[in-house]
Amino acid sequence: MNYPFWDIPILGSGWVIGIIAIFHVMISQFAVGGGLYLPLAERKALRMPEGKLRTEWLAALAGYSKFFLVLTGVFGTISGVGIWFAIGLTHPEGTSTLIHNFVFGWAMEWVFFLVELTTIAVYYTTWGKIDPKLHLKVGWVYAGASAFTLIIINGILTFMLTPGDTWLAVAGTGHEASKFWYAFFNPTYWPSLFLRTCVCCALAGIWALITASRIDGDKQPELKTSLVKWSVKWLVPSFVATPFILIWYLWMVPAAQRALLTLGIGTIGSGTFSVVTRIALLIIITSATIVGVAYFLAYRNPRDFNLSHAIALLLLALMATGAGEYSREMLRKPYVIGRWMFSNGVRVPYVNRINQEGYLAHSMWVWSNPPGAEDRLVSLTPGWVDPYYSYSRGEAIFRGECGSCHTLNGYRPLAKLLAGRDQANIRSFITMLHDYKPDSPYRRFMPPMTGTKQDIDDLTNFLNVQVNPPAPATQKPVQTAQK
């Protein structure tokens, strides 16, 4: 436990990352897809014959570029910084590994990000002020820069699931940077890149329908009809190609992680729905609904397609995106970096050493000599463990080993999961996690509990107090003398 703990009551620090990330992904992937949508739409308009429709298309795209600039340049940037803030506090060990291994990649990403911000601002402010061909070139520069941000970020995100045998062979030696490209172009890199590209195109169409839905179909029927139908077509490649790319992606995922999916799908006939199975069903249902709404309400009746319809599509896309990101996180269990670092920040090669030395052996966040221990005569009683000190150590172990995924009384509450167990049963449960045997039902998605026997006892003491709190001391009423 090398870092202090960021405590988020009820919600848990993991969901802080999740909420920010889902919001950011909806915008950042739109920034990539929309970056391609704008120059292609402008090129389409410029190829139209001179006339009213051409003028209306260009005016509509100019307004759309303002919406695009505000959404991606402001909200996308703020949420991106928010992710860095959240992951740095929630998972400093994993963040440190990503920074040290991909510092060159992060530097490249920031360069392209600055190009993005600059070109989209230029693109919006120069509508009708510079030569149309030059303006279109600015749009293509933005599209290229945004595509490169996806290319770089995709390599880092997929590394966390499948770092690859080549990188793992040098991990921990100080020579990880020599295998940068092996880690970057890891086994799931290409299927994930194509999958995210499809999602980007679909989000470009869905976000474009937000602005297209606000066009008055009675005053500008031809413009609204053509723009709505063209935007709907951006959803087609995604929903045609995604199932095949998803199969490719899952084929490259390690069998141990893929088992989380196959477990629930294989037993769905008997009514056993795992969390991942529910997520898969949610993605299928929301995606099918998006296709239905887009076709029947937008493509078939473009003039009547209004803002409420577009927002409904956007909310469905938010659900599908959130479910997809959640399932990607679930596939990494029990690791935060596959086969190298468990989700609680413990490095896989260090487990045996921690089991010998103790989880808190080198931590600066616990008392080595608890205040008041002398007053409780700890040193005068050989073999006696100060309950206050044990509770404090157990709390530190809980925060370090369990707190990245669990809370006490909120999301994934341990107090509820352990309810009904006495102290002996809680100790048996923790011991099972510590032994981490191959047949353990928790091995697929939970890291081992690392530490010595004393650490097991300390964590047991802490959790037992949470599950079975001691009865409050009662004070006898003072009897007054009767006259």
Tell me which of 292, 320, 342 is where a domain ends. 342
Residue 480 inside a domain? The answer is: no
**Ramachandran quadrant class, 69 (left: phi over 0; alpha: psi -120 to 50; beta: rest):** alpha
Q: What is the three-class DSSP state of 379?
A: coil
Cα distances (Å, whole numbers) of residue 416 to 14, 104, 276, 429, 434: 18, 44, 21, 14, 21
Radius of gyration of the chain (CA): 28
Whether 286 maps to a domain, the answer reads yes
Residues 231 and 367 in one domain: no
Per-residue tokens: 3: 């870092």
Residue 5: phi and psi, rounded to 5, are -110, 135
359: closest CA among 399, 304, 326?
A: 399
Distance CA 428, CA 382 (A): 26
Angle between helices 13-46 and 77-90 (to 10 degrees): 150
| Domains identified in the chain, total number | 2
In this structure, the answer to whether residues 392 and 449 fall within a common structural domain is yes
CA dist 255 and 248 (Å) reads 13
Give the single-character DSSP code of 8.
-
| Secondary structure (3-state) at 349 | helix
Chosen domain end from 293, 312, 342: 342
pLDDT tens-place values along the chain, 483 residues long: 678 888 898 999 989 998 999 999 999 999 999 999 999 999 999 999 999 999 999 999 999 999 999 999 999 999 999 999 999 999 999 999 999 999 999 999 999 999 999 999 999 999 999 999 999 999 999 999 999 999 999 999 999 999 999 999 999 998 998 999 999 999 999 999 999 999 999 999 999 999 999 999 999 999 999 999 999 999 998 889 988 998 899 899 988 777 776 655 544 554 445 666 777 788 888 999 999 999 999 999 999 999 999 999 999 999 998 888 888 888 898 999 999 999 999 999 999 999 999 999 888 877 655 555 545 444 444 444 567 778 889 999 999 999 989 999 999 999 999 999 999 999 999 999 999 999 998 888 899 999 999 999 999 999 999 999 987 755 555 554 444
Place of tokens 């996308």: 76
Same domain, 397 and 252: no
**Could you tell me if residue 95 is inside a domain?**
yes
Question: 395 and 273 share a domain?
Answer: no
* Alpha helices per DSSP H over 253-341: 255-266, 275-293, 307-331
Please check whether residue 313 lies inside any domain of the structure: yes
Q: What are phi and psi of 128, to 5 degrees?
A: 75, 5
Pairing of strands 341-342, 335-337: antiparallel
End-to-end CA distance of the chain: 65
Do 319 and 446 have their domain in common? no
**68 and 192 part of one domain:** yes
Instruction: Indicate which CATH number applies to the domain containing 356.
Output: 1.10.760
What is the span of the domain harbouring residue 209? 13-342
- State if pTM tops 0.95: no
